[in-house]
Amino acid sequence: MLTGIEEVDWASLGHAYGPADDVPELLRGLASADPAERETALDGMYGAVHHQGDVYDSTLACIPFLLELVADPGVQDRGCIVELLTSIGGIELDDEEEEEMSGLPFDDGEFIPAANYAMAAAAIAAGSDVFLGLVSDPDPEVRLAVPYALASLHPEPALVLTLLRERLTVERDTEVRLALVAAVGQIALRHASLRAETVDWLGWLARAAQDPGLRLAALAQRARCAPGEIPDDVVPWVTALLEEIRTASVSGAGSEPPRGAAPTLIGQVRELLEEHAAGRPAPWTEELLRTLHAALDDRVDDRIALVLAQLRSPDWGQRSDAIWLCGGLIRVWRGRYEEVVRLVGDQLHDPEPRLREAATSFLERLFELGAPAADALAARLARAPRGPADGFGDGSGGFGDGSGGFGGRSGGFGDGFGGFGEGCGDGFGGGGGDGFGGGCGEGFGGVGRSGREGALIALARAGDVRAVPLLARALEEGEVRRELLYAVDGLGPSAAVLAPLLRRRLARIELDERLYDRAAPLLHALAAARGVQALPEVLRVLRGAPANRRDRVREAALRTLAAFGPAAGEAVPDLQELLADGSAGVSTAAARALWAVEGDPAEVLPVLERWLRPVLPGADRCAAAQVLGEIGPAAVAAAPALRPALASRDPWVRVRAAAALWRVTGETEATLPVLLAAWEENRHARVDIAECLAEMGPAASEARLVLLTELTRRRRHNAREGASGTRDIHLDEKLLTLCRAALARMERGTY
């Protein structure tokens, strides 16, 4: 075994962490009889030799030995090695990347990684006949991994297609059968010449198979391969299949006994996947539904109807799947989610802790859209014990973005076996359908995630005043998640009662290197609560900010002082001194606060004009323009300094300057065209632009079509593939509200 491994000069090769002289030990570890040693070796392969999907010269040198290990029936856990090979060889360059590679000289730094991908694919494809004999391997984990390897890497797709379909007639393992169907779908996607016949076969299988799970898999893959041919009755069809699967399954079937504790990253992910699937008779339905949701894409009403059907299922696992699936749906697509949110709120009362955690994580990110679940959240908080409960420990957030396709028991590592990375359980296919994990933090009864805290964050972000006394209780206890403090600004005037408690907490904070992380959330909450009684404590932070992140500490404190307004008169000397600060963020924040306290523009306008100079960075000019806009007509003397910024190359500078110039002068002839051009150029600026258009009223009538078009779009303006921010949904809903407000003011003809 591993013949010739000593003949390779591994020290002259490299991987992610330097010379590859440790690779022989990793390869031998993959063949070890010790399960822990095998897992450690696999972790090392993904962590160094195939780090984040990269292919190094040492990765290429490993390929013959990995193929040898896969072919040896005496080696255990060969399914994992098949997945590793599939990941190494499965990176496909698109036409643009291939063209760029062909135009690069051989010694170009960018040529080598791209060439390595191509050579890896060629080397594994040349040896991929070894996979043909593994479709009937006695080890089900090998049979689970091989279909996708064949579909992705073998150079004769027609041969593979025939083999996979024939194997399906004799295979008895449920998950392997589903993997075979998923691999057939992968071939259809990769090879247009085989697509039509494969789509027909999948359609036949979706109707004729005896096993409802197999019918669901075929339906999902057919939808993936031919999304334009998804039938109108897909929701009742899928719902009936799910019910048939539920009633045919025995509770607890399909779960494997948990293994021992694993110190490796791969082992930890495996444990999470095992925990996620434990006690569920058919956990694989989640991946099938992800594939189907990805195929449905912008058919939002159908996707919502499917989620609603799952949320009404007697099977808690289906309800949990619905919540995670809807997370990606609501993050990307606009729609009528009131009933979905209400039903998710109902899951907070379920005895299954994993279901409650899924519901809480989902509701945390909804902000105002979480209102239909407010009663359920309040009831959950009223009866829940205080302190850590439900869910994973500090820092866990459920299953995050990117899961798709069929991961199976081994779970897969990385997107489509594309390297170990984000998206637990990614496997066959891929195609969207993001999970919806929520960040976790410290519990206010101790360290660890608290379901109570998540529910309280969701209730506060929904703007429900029932959160106020519960927040007060949290502030009286131990550590508080920062998200709770940032949620205070959604509670309006009712948050004022929290000010004394926030003040006491701020007073206890040490002025050390961790000051910003500890003080910034409290300062934000004090600003929202208008807790002017905390002025001495805010000034203490402002004056005592340490060198570490000093500017950010000062900016946070200055924002709070600005919120206090004239009541912060004691701070005037500090504000005047900071006007001359060398940081634009600090200087402009001091100007904003001084204006809010004294209401006299004379002292602050020269400072703000200084930061508008064209030679300065865009962020500095944006900060100055924004403050001038807040000052409004009293800053008219600064209008000449704003006008050059309308022609800036930075779209954010143009937006900030145009909005400020309108607020200062009321001019629309020069500002409105700038705002409308930026609307198309920078979608992330639309909230700011819409806010200005709403203020303009009838003067912005030229923007009517732009606003109406935005309101008809189904996709959220800030939706990103494979990524999301905590406030993304909130910001998009704010955009829609501002668009409606702007149109209403145009209709009324009032300013």
pLDDT digits (tens, 9 = 90+) for 450-480: 588 999 999 999 999 999 999 999 999 878 8
Determine the pLDDT at residue 652.
97
Determine the pLDDT at residue 725.
87
Residue 262's pLDDT band (boundaries 50, 70, 90)? low
Asked if residue 107 and residue 1 are part of one domain, the reply reads: yes
Q: Which token pair is 231?
A: 């039938």
- Residue 65 reports pLDDT greater than 60: yes
- Neighbouring CB atoms inside 10 A of 602's CB total 9
Q: Which token pair is 47?
A: 């962590």
Asked if residue 453 and residue 370 are part of one domain, the reply reads: yes
Q: What is the mean pLDDT of residues 180-202?
A: 96
Q: Which of 121, 155, 189 is the last residue of a domain?
A: 155
Determine the pLDDT at residue 252.
42
Number of independent structural domains in the chain: 2
Q: Is residue 362 part of a domain?
A: yes
Q: What is the mean pLDDT of residues 705-722?
A: 94
Q: Are 430 and 423 in contact (CB under 8 A)?
A: no
Asked if residue 241 and residue 93 are part of one domain, the reply reads: no
Q: Is residue 586 part of a domain?
A: no
Task: Please provide the average confidence, as pLDDT, over all residues in the chain.
Answer: 87
pLDDT digits (tens, 9 = 90+) for 364-404: 999 999 999 999 999 999 985 554 434 323 333 333 333 33
Asked if residue 236 and residue 357 are part of one domain, the reply reads: yes
- Residue 54 reports pLDDT greater than 70: yes
Distance (Å, rounded) from C-alpha 711 to C-alpha 463? 24
Determine the pLDDT at residue 721.
77
Domain of residue 98, residue span: 1-155
Q: Is residue 710 part of a domain?
A: no
Asked if residue 138 and residue 245 are part of one domain, the reply reads: no
Instruction: Express as a percent the part of the chain with pLDDT over 90.
Output: 79
Q: Is residue 273 part of a domain?
A: yes
Asked if residue 137 and residue 235 are part of one domain, the reply reads: no
Q: What is the mean pLDDT of residues 576-589?
A: 97
Decide which of 239 and 2 is more confident: 239
Q: Are 413 and 144 in contact (CB under 8 A)?
A: no
Q: Is residue 441 part of a domain?
A: no
Q: What is the mean pLDDT of residues 98-104?
A: 45
Determine the pLDDT at residue 3.
86
What is the residue whose two structure tokens read 């009403």?
A: 301
Q: What is the CATH number of the domain that holds 39?
A: 1.25.10
Q: Is residue 513 part of a domain?
A: no
Distance (Å, rounded) from C-alpha 437 to C-alpha 434? 9
Asked if residue 365 and residue 238 are part of one domain, the reply reads: yes
Decide which of 709 and 249 is more confident: 709
Residue 248's pLDDT band (boundaries 50, 70, 90)? confident
Q: Is residue 693 part of a domain?
A: no
- Residue 92 reports pLDDT greater than 70: no
Asked if residue 455 and residue 310 are part of one domain, the reply reads: yes
Burial class (CB in 10 A: 0-12, 13-18, 19+), 80: buried
Asked if residue 456 and residue 311 are part of one domain, the reply reads: yes
- Residue 411 reports pLDDT greater than 70: no
Distance (Å, rounded) from C-alpha 327 to C-alpha 220? 19
Distance (Å, rounded) from C-alpha 350 to C-alpha 291? 27
pLDDT digits (tens, 9 = 90+) for 8-43: 999 999 999 999 999 999 999 999 999 999 999 999
Q: What is the mean pLDDT of residues 236-251?
A: 86
Give me the residues paired with residue 265 across strands.
none
Q: Which of 140, 155, 170 is the last residue of a domain?
A: 155
- Residue 88 reports pLDDT greater than 90: yes
- Neighbouring CB atoms inside 10 A of 387's CB total 15
Asked if residue 280 and residue 133 are part of one domain, the reply reads: no
Q: What is the mean pLDDT of residues 547-561?
A: 96
Asked if residue 236 and residue 133 are part of one domain, the reply reads: no
Residue 724's pLDDT band (boundaries 50, 70, 90)? confident
Residue 280's pLDDT band (boundaries 50, 70, 90)? confident
- Residue 355 reports pLDDT greater than 70: yes
Determine the pLDDT at residue 477.
84
Q: What is the mean pLDDT of residues 105-113?
A: 49
Asked if residue 150 and residue 27 are part of one domain, the reply reads: yes
Q: What is the mean pLDDT of residues 123-142?
A: 96
Alpha carbon separation from 274 to 258, 413, 477 (Å, rounded): 7, 14, 35
Burial class (CB in 10 A: 0-12, 13-18, 19+), 357: buried
Q: Which of 155, 172, 192 is the last residue of a domain?
A: 155
Q: Is residue 623 part of a domain?
A: no
Determine the pLDDT at residue 401.
36
Distance (Å, rounded) from C-alpha 677 to C-alpha 684? 13
Q: What is the mean pLDDT of residues 61-85?
A: 96
Distance (Å, rounded) from C-alpha 439 to C-alpha 425? 19
| Cα-based angle 657, 663, 665 (whole degrees, multiple of 5) | 95
